[in-house]
Amino acid sequence: MAGLGLEGVTLAIIIGTLAAIVYSLRILVLLERRIARMDENLLKITHKIESEEMKIEKEEEKIEALLARKTAAKKPAKKK
């Protein structure tokens, strides 16, 4: 009888260890999915910021071109 009791305890330890491993793997998979979603959201935010920066740069170029035209038109001719 002592042999059966020891085998039962050993089997329970093995099954408990396997259950803990499966649970840990489940948690790891859930965390990996969450991190993947965070990466996707960061990429979306980055693309939005990039497009806004491009718009701002184009507007700056337009403004600089207008200012260059105005300053060129205001310069008086040199007198000798």
pTM here is 0.59
Number of domains into which the chain is organized = 1
**What burial letters (b/e) apply to 33-64, b meaning 16+ CB within 10 Å?**
eeeeeeeeeeeeeeeeeeeeeeeeeeeeeeee
Answer yes or no: is 69 within a domain.
no
| HSE-up of residue 39 (Cα within 13 Å, Cβ side) | 6
Answer yes or no: is 75 within a domain.
no
Answer yes or no: is 77 within a domain.
no
pLDDT digits 0-9 by tens, 19-76: 999 999 999 999 999 999 999 999 999 999 999 999 999 999 999 999 988 888 776 6
The range of the structural domain enclosing residue 57 comes to: 24-63
* Residue 57 DSSP symbol: H
80 has pLDDT over 70: no
Answer yes or no: is 4 within a domain.
no
In angstroms, how far is the first alpha carbon of the chain from the final one?
Answer: 123
* Residue 47 DSSP symbol: H
Answer yes or no: is 45 within a domain.
yes
Answer yes or no: is 36 within a domain.
yes
